[in-house]
Amino acid sequence: MSDEGSARKVVGGWLLLGGLLAVAILLSLMVGQIMITPAELLRGLMTGTGPGSLTLRVLRGPSTLTAVGAGAVLGVSGAIFQILLRNPLAAPDVMGFMSGAGCAVVAGVAFGLLIPLPILAAMGGLVAALLVAGLAFHRSGRQSPLTLILVGIGIGFFASAVSSFLVLRMPPQEAADAQRWLAGSLTARNWGHVLQVFGLGALLFVVLALQVRAMALLELGDELAAGLGAHVERARYGLICTGVLLAAVGVAVAGPVPFVAMMAGPLGMRIAGVRHPASRLTAAAIAGATITVLAEVISRSAIPGLQLPVGVMTGIMGAPYLLWLLWKEVEAGEL
């Protein structure tokens, strides 16, 4: 493979990935109970009047952009753990961090705590991560990624069970809302949600960008990373915290949507044809956004007159992929 050939392939990959996201966004704005044509959308954007404008400003724009933001932060979060643990199963949804974040939000609502959702979600995610690390702790200081993942799955089930218990004790209307949110929901998002997910997401992306070089060293193994000047433990904890917080930002606006974080990294890497952590994280952001926006369109239009939670759709897309990954691990003798 020549240098130029591979460079052209990579550019093509990025264009394809970006194109898919653009198509998904356009579909999401067009499709619904009333179809809006691209021409109407353009007119709405330019003039601020007509059905296109209403769709962009109120009906679909905020939900679509929230889906973009939530998908991006979840995708990046997943890619961080997949790179750190060198395992495609490692992601905040599989490892229970998102269930933990969701559980904390439900608890906040159930007990009437006046704490902003992103902070509740962040606390829940970090507690879940600490529990996973604590329970998988081994005196040798070396636990296998698979142990961490399995313990994480357990913590996830526990957090979900606690959430269900809390929901059962709520008044009926609140319980229905909470149930819906826990399944991962992007309906009726407003510009506040958009601002929140993009603001916090951008902040965390900057924090992450400062850690990417250390990440590229950690990928080579702890000893080489240390030899190349990385503070190995500090770098690892920094990246884990950033990953958990990114997942929490996603959960705060969209609920614990399953499988986006897990699918985005490998999908983005394949489509863009990239390898370096910086590129993988970027590709994961775009892929995560695309998956979430698409899942949101389908969940809204698959069954006329019925609005499914977006998490149901990502579940239907993600579960076969998870099973395939597990089957591969079994084949490789890892499980």
Partner 1 sequence: MTGNGLTTTSLTLGYRERVVIRELSIAVPDQRVTSILGPNGCGKSTFLKALARLIAPASGHVRLSGHDIGEIDTRTLARRLSILPQSPKAPEGITVSDLVRRGRTPWRGLLAPWSEEDAAICAQALEQVGLSDLAERPIDELSGGQRQRAWIALVLAQNTPYLLLDEPTTWLDLTHQLEVLSLLQKRNRDHGTTVITVLHDLNLAVRFSDHLVLFGGNGLVAEGTPEVVITPDNLQAAFGLKALVMPDPLTGRPMIVPY
Please report, as ranges, the residues that interact with partner 1 according to CB under 8 A.
1-3, 6, 86, 210, 213, 216-217, 219-221, 223-224, 226-231, 275-276
CB of 269 to partner 1, least distance (A): 9
CA dist 187 and 196 (Å) reads 16
Rounded to whole angstroms, how far apart are CA atoms 51 and 59?
Answer: 10
Residues 314 and 319: their CA atoms lie apart, in Å, by 8
Q: Which is nearer to partner 1, 148 or 225 (CB)?
A: 225
Q: What is the smallest separation between the CB atom of 244 and partner 1, expressed in angstroms?
A: 22
CA-CA distance, 261 to 75, in Å (whole number)? 4
Rank residues 223 and 331 by Cβ distance to partner 1 and give the closer one: 223
* Rounded least distance, CB 60 to partner 1, Å: 38
Smallest distance, Å, CB 268 to partner 1? 14
Give residue for tokens 């997910």: 197
Q: Cα 129 vs. chain centroid, distance in angstroms?
A: 16
Q: How far is the CB of 275 from partner 1 (least distance, A)?
A: 5
Write down the residue that tokens 């952009």 correspond to.
65
Question: In terms of CB distance, is 112 or 229 closer to partner 1?
Answer: 229
Nearer to partner 1, 127 or 217 (CB): 217
Helix (H, G, I), strand (E, B) or coil at 114: coil
3-state secondary structure of 31: coil
CB of 110 to partner 1, least distance (A): 43
What is the signed CA dihedral for 203, 205, 207, 213, rounded to 10 degrees? -170
Residue with tokens 């495609």: 88
In the complex with partner 1, which residue's Cβ is closer, 78 or 184?
Answer: 78
Residues 6+ apart with CB under 8 A from 48: none
Q: Which is nearer to partner 1, 6 or 190 (CB)?
A: 6
